[in-house]
């Protein structure tokens, strides 16, 4: 290729897109480099007199087309292609017929362009189609857009790091190029996004609808517009990969938060914030259940922590693995090696030998497991949470234990720990900690799913606790000097009264009568 001034600029400016191993030219560089001066530098000088509008027309509608032509050393073709009506909006193009004619056509086949076939080398059209993808990286929106891209189309991300991994997907922290975004938040000078990546071919022959189901759930979740429920930015299918783009939680997840802030002073402010966030998570779960959506895998790793001016916000994530309640049947007896949920937080009905399919109240058990760990963390730190996990001596560290092939009970170590906590002076009858523990024991960690509380009841009763604690901080816990008071946390939660509301007995009675399965 002839090394012109413009080509010597374009080639080094190409960026690697690690998400799908393609290269792209950033839009900002395209706009900065394609100017009247650089256009005329690639064309015959006499054209400035005979075709004096050519540069203006190129700048107006065909910057990408011109950049492609420069890269394939056919810049002079811009004159004829513009005359044929080609512009950037018609990209990407395809080869006409068997690809050897030198004719280009729009993807719908309605318009053809004959410039290369008439005046240039036979392979020029082929090179144009090949290089055009360098200019096709899309602008990413944040409104839940569904994109289906050509396998050759690059994604505008420049760096990625794996931050999570499952059997069907990986989660990446990715840097989105600032020229290819609209509505994204800058974090520390970069635009950072969480990307969940699936490999389509891995699922063929198993569940052909798994990705469409996930998209449907994410769309419905997004419509809820709940502050404690994750909203995806966009989804994309390209080649053999499927991506979902989410906001990146700068505070990582709840377990990371527990580890990071374990030495924080257990002040009324931090404790109240924790209760408010639990209330927010319960409210998000209620919102899901109201739409007949079961999360299916509630655990600390799926509760994200976003930092903000008020100290942070906990957000329920990974809702996409859920299924609509009416469509779900549990078939553990098929011996599949894949698991959609985390055994530690599974409800007793997850065990196939315990009769019945999973209901929405499956999530309430998982909520109880998390809330109990949260109380332990608040009182005694993360080391106590780990000890509690290790005390449940079983392969999966579940919160229940089987008593026969068809029955189960709350794990003895769980019952023992709750009893110990209720006898702790800090968790007396007149404290929020005591009330929360009783709620967990009497309504959430109930083996019989038919008598387990609904998310609506949990939310209402927790709202009462938060309301009292907000009005009277001394209600939170009794300060006996046992609560760890160490280095102040850099995270300074602030009270947020927006989630607090008073429960109604009539609502509870109505929900108790609601069908549990």
Q: What pLDDT band is residue 338 in, cutting at 50, 70 and 90? A: very low
Looking at the fold, whether 413 and 437 belong to one and the same domain comes out as: yes
**Residue 178 or 217, more confident:** 178
Residue 517 lies in a domain: no
Same structural domain, 387 and 469: yes
pLDDT band at 47 (very low <50, low <70, confident <90, very high): very high
What three-state secondary structure class fits 309?
coil
Specify the pLDDT at position 501: 42
Residues 26 and 171 in one domain: no
Distance CA 115, CA 438 (A): 79
CB-CB neighbours of 277 under 10 Å? 25
Rounded CA separation 501/509 (Å): 17
Residues 210 and 268 in one domain: no
Question: Last residue of some domain: 81, 104, 135?
Answer: 135
Pick from 364, 298, 356, 358: which is nearest to 325 by CA?
A: 358
- Position 169 scores a pLDDT of 80
- The verdict on 435 and 367 lying in the same domain is yes
* Residue showing tokens 């109880």: 368
Specify if 323 maps to a domain. Answer: no
Examine the domain organization and report whether 131 and 155 are in the same domain. no
Q: Domain for residue 357, yes or no?
A: yes
Residue 498's CATH number: 1.10.510.10
What string of DSSP letters covers 103-122?
-EEETTSS-EE-HHHHHS-T
Does pLDDT of 440 surpass 70? yes
Reply yes or no: is the peptide bond before residue 92 cis, omega within 30 of 0: yes
Cα separation, 140 vs 482, in Å, equals: 51
Are 479 and 380 part of one and the same domain? yes
Place of tokens 């760096």: 159
- State residue 482's pLDDT score: 59
Domain co-membership, 232 together with 354:
no
pLDDT at 376: 97
Question: Does 329 map to a domain?
Answer: no
Are 413 and 474 within one domain? Answer: yes
Question: Is residue 418 domain-resident?
Answer: yes
- Asked if the structure places residue 336 within a domain, the reply is no
Which pLDDT tens digit goes with each residue over 352-361?
555 555 788 9
| Nearest by Cα to 379 from 255, 258, 278, 500 | 258
Rg (CA), the chain: 29
Number of folded domains that form the chain = 3
DSSP for 176-231 reads EPGGGBSSPPEETTEEEEEEEEEEGGGTTTT-TTHHHHHHHHHHHHHHH--TTB--
Pairwise CA distance, residues 105 & 505, whole Å: 68
Q: Is 196 annotated as a binding residue?
A: yes
Distance between CA atoms of 295 and 226, rounded to whole angstroms? 15
**Which of the residue ranges 58-62, 151-155, 413-417, 512-516 would you say has the lowest mean pLDDT?**
512-516
Please say whether the beta carbons of 82 and 57 come within 8 A.
yes
pLDDT for residue 350: 84
Looking at the domain assignment, is residue 423 inside a domain?
yes
Q: Would residue 330 count as lying in a domain? A: no
Q: Which of 36-40, 458-462, 486-490 has the lowest mean pLDDT?
A: 486-490
pLDDT classification of 7: cutoffs 50, 70, 90 = confident
With 80 as the cut, is the pLDDT of residue 500 above it? Answer: no
User: Is the same domain home to 190 and 263?
Assistant: no
Q: What's the CATH number where 198 sits?
A: 3.30.200.20
| Contact predicate 235/274, CB 8 Å | no
Give the structural domain span for 236: 145-247
pLDDT > 60? residue 235: yes
Tokens 């009675």, residue located: 509
Q: What is the pTM of this model?
A: 0.84
Q: Do 287 and 410 belong to one domain?
A: yes
Q: Are residues 398 and 285 in the same domain?
A: yes
Per-residue pLDDT averaged across 123-138, rounded? Answer: 97
Domain final residue pick, 247, 269, 301: 247
pLDDT at 328 over 50: no
Average pLDDT over residues 222-227: 95
The domain boundary, picked from 105, 135, 165, lies at 135
3-class secondary-structure state, position 414: helix
| Proportion of the chain above pLDDT 70, given as a percent | 83
């Amino acid at each position: 290729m002839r090394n012109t001034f413009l080509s010597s600029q374009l080639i080094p400016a190409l960026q690697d897109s690690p998400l799908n191993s393609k290269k792209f030219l950033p839009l900002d560089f395209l706009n900065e480099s394609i100017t009247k001066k650089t256009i005329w530098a690639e064309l015959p000088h006499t054209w400035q007199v005979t075709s004096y509008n050519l540069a203006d027309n190129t700048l107006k509608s065909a910057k990408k087309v011109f950049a492609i032509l420069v890269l394939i050393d056919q810049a002079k073709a811009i004159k004829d292609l513009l005359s044929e009506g080609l512009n950037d909006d018609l990209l990407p193009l395809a080869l006409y017929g068997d690809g050897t004619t030198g004719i280009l056509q729009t993807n719908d086949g309605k318009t053809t362009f004959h410039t290369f076939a008439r005046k240039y080398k036979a392979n020029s059209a082929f090179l144009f189609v090949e290089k055009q993808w360098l200019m096709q990286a899309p602008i990413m929106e944040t409104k839940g857009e569904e994109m289906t891209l050509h396998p050759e189309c690059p994604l505008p991300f420049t760096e990625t790091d794996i931050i999570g991994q499952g059997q069907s997907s990986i989660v990446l922290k990715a840097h989105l190029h600032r020229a290819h975004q609209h509505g994204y938040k800058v974090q520390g000078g970069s635009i950072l996004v969480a990307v969940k990546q699936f490999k389509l071919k891995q699922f063929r022959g198993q569940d052909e609808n798994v990705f469409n189901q996930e998209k449907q759930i994410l769309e419905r979740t997004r419509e809820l517009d709940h502050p404690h429920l994750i909203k995806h930015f966009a989804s994309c299918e390209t080649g053999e990969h499927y991506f979902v783009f989410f906001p990146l939680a700068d505070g990582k997840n709840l377990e990371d938060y527990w580890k990071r802030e374990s030495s924080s002073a257990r002040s009324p402010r931090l404790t109240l914030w924790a209760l408010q966030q639990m209330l927010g998570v319960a409210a998000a779960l209620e919102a899901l259940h109201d739409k007949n959506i079961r999360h299916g895998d509630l655990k600390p790793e799926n509760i994200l922590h976003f930092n903000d001016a008020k100290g942070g916000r906990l957000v329920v994530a990974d809702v996409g693995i859920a299924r609509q309640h009416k469509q779900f049947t549990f078939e553990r007896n098929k011996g599949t090696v894949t698991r959609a949920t985390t055994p530690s937080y599974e409800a007793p009905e997850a065990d196939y030998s315990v009769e019945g399919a999973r209901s929405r109240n499956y999530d309430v058990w998982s909520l109880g497991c998390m809330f109990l760990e949260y109380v332990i963390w608040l009182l005694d730190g993360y080391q106590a949470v780990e000890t509690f996990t290790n005390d449940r001596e079983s392969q999966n560290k579940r919160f229940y234990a089987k008593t026969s092939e068809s029955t189960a009970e709350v794990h003895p170590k769980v019952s023992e720990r709750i009893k110990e906590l209720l006898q702790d002076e800090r968790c007396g009858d007149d404290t929020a900690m005591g009330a929360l523990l009783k709620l967990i024991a009497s309504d959430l960690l109930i083996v019989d799913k038919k008598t387990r509380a609904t998310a609506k009841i949990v939310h209402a009763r927790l709202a009462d606790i938060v309301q009292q604690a907000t009005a009277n901080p001394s209600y939170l816990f009794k300060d006996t000097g046992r609560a760890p008071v160490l280095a102040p946390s850099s995270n300074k939660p602030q009270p947020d009264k927006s989630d607090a509301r008073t429960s109604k007995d009539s609502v509870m009675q109505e929900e108790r009568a609601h069908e549990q399965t």
